[in-house]
Amino acid sequence: MEKEKKFVEAITSMDEDFAQWYTDIVKKAELADYSSVRGCMVIRPYGYAIWENIQKELDKRFKETGHENVYMPMFIPESLLNKEKEHVKGFAPEVAWVTQGGNEPLTERMCVRPTSETLFCEHFAKIVQSYNDLPKLYNQWCSVVRWEKTTRPFLRTMEFLWQEGHTVHATAKESEEETIRMLNLYASFCEDFLAIPVIKGQKTDKEKFAGAKATYTLEALMHDGKALQAGTSHNFGDNFAKAFNIQYTDKDGKLKYVYETSWGMSTRIIGAIIMVHGDDSGLVLPPKVAPTQVIIIPVSQHIEGVLDKANEIKDRVCKIARVKMDTSDKMPGWKYNEYEMKGVPIRLEIGPRDIQKNQVVLVRRDTREKYFVPMDQIESRINSLLCDIHNSLYNKAKAIRDEKTYTVSNMDEFKEVAENKPGFIKAMWCGDRECEEKIKEVAGTTSRCIPFEQEHISDKCICCGKEAKYMVYWGKAY
């Protein structure tokens, strides 16, 4: 019992130290570990299995919308990167450079891709000739490198995994439709697959992606009241097309520039899963993304008939869910703690008394509710529980977000909330960059997004008092 107690005590309470709580879960749930390479992590099998489920679901959705997977080089020549000045300026502080190959200095240094717009543009310029070649709907699964000063597993690492979509279209209307379509795809994925409620909106010009005409974002609120950008979709207009001379001959015989989009989601979404759903006992995984949805724990497995019955149940459950059985010689209590730590949605206990009563015990990870279920109802109850757990996690996260969303109408209120009540702050803004920068300076918050669903709080900008143009979500963010 002492060992079991220590296992739980190893997690710092989120109310005591949220950052340490997060790190404890990443390590104790065996999601990732630190490596000897500064700012880089080792993604362990359990963490990678979560990423594989994310990847599998997103990839399916991309292909259903007509996108194809490709792969671009890891290295980008400096001359290619410099073709779009605003883009390179935005990424310059984070670029890692290769200056030598073997024993020979390179005639032109190359960067390790921080993102792949320039490579895709170079390729599109070669393969797009006619309106018949459009649209091109591409996606790439890869890793990218950004030389971050401060790092934290999954949330901000120098190398991370992601997907980056890149598309080109004949018209501005088509590229805008694609940008919004992919943002909506991400939003649906976050809410329907990860049980994470998100706010959809547009980034301000100050916060948009370098080189983009417009950036659209999904903003999620973590348990500590900080925002996390869960996914972004960028409309480049014809900015990159003109820089890279990506042109096509239209039906009227005229030469025209294409319109381009880019969109991405990375392994930082695993950090969001941890911080939205986790508790002081560890990870809490939404069922659809959980590598193991049901863990079977045989109780008194040394008694004849227990393991046989447990295996029989496993063979049934594996037809409807991802299931594992733990037949190790650890004490049942230790196993309970271990799989709570790993966030497995349902624990199924089966022992001699249960066999006598022709039942199993099902325990939910999210609420710890216990159910005594007849043997002939196992499949139906597991199916309904998995659905209930997803809905419960989503509703709980949304309730916490709503509770930590504050509306203010003047700067004094804004500062007071920013200082004492972590969360989203809804406030009116005139649209001027000076006011946006002033708010950050005074309150330490950034604009998270201009939500598509606008509300009228007042007529005046909270900073300058001039006529307000937008209601904006503000907050401190990861």
Q: Report how far residue 461's alpha carbon sits from residue 433's, in angstroms, rounded to the nearest whole number.
A: 12
User: Has domain 294-385 been given CATH number 3.30.300.210?
Assistant: no
pLDDT per residue, tens digit, the chain (478 aa), is 444 445 445 799 999 999 999 999 999 999 999 999 999 999 999 999 999 999 999 999 999 999 999 999 999 999 998 887 777 787 788 999 999 999 999 999 999 999 999 999 999 999 999 999 999 999 999 999 999 989 999 999 999 999 999 999 999 999 999 999 999 999 999 999 999 999 999 999 999 998 899 999 999 999 999 999 999 999 999 999 999 999 999 999 999 999 999 999 999 999 999 999 999 999 999 999 999 999 999 999 999 999 999 999 999 999 999 999 999 999 999 999 999 999 999 999 999 999 999 999 999 999 999 999 999 999 999 999 999 999 999 999 999 999 999 999 999 999 999 999 999 999 999 999 999 999 999 999 999 999 999 999 999 999 999 999 999 999 999 9
SS3 category, 165: strand
Where along the chain do the CATH 3.30.110.30 domains lie? 405-475
According to the CATH classification, is domain 405-475 in 3.30.110.30? yes
The predicted structure's pLDDT at residue 88: 73
Contact 464, 430 (CB under 8 A): yes
Q: What is the pLDDT of residue 9?
A: 55
- Pairing label, strands 247-249, 227-237: unpaired
- Residue 10's pLDDT is 77
Considering the chain, tell me which residue range(s) the CATH 3.30.930.10 domain(s) occupy. 2-277
Which residues, including other chains, have CB under 8 Å from residue 259's CB and lie 6 or more apart? 168, 169, 170, 171, 172, 174, 175, 235, 236, 237, 238, 241
> Alpha helices of 68-127 — where are they, by DSSP H?
78-81, 85-91, 117-127
Between the alpha carbon of residue 476 and those of residues 18, 72, 412, 417, 453, the distances in Å are 15, 34, 17, 11, 21
Q: Where in the chain is the domain with CATH 3.40.50.800?
A: 294-385
Q: What is the CA radius of gyration of the chain?
A: 25
What is the pLDDT at residue 2?
Answer: 45
CA atoms of 356 and 308, how far apart (whole Å)? 14
DSSP code at position 363:
E
Residue 107: phi, psi to the nearest 5? -70, -25
Specify the CATH architecture of the domain 2-277: 2-Layer Sandwich (3.30)
Q: What is the pTM of this model?
A: 0.95
CA 478 vs. chain centroid, Å, equals 12
pLDDT score of 211: 87
CA 180 to centroid of chain Cα atoms: 18
Strand partners, 451: 201
Residue positions counted in the chain:
478
Q: What is the DSSP string of 403-420?
A: HTEEE-SSHHHHHHHHHH
8 Å CB contact between 46 and 30 = yes
Q: Cα-flanking dihedrals φ and ψ of residue 375, to 5°?
A: -55, -35
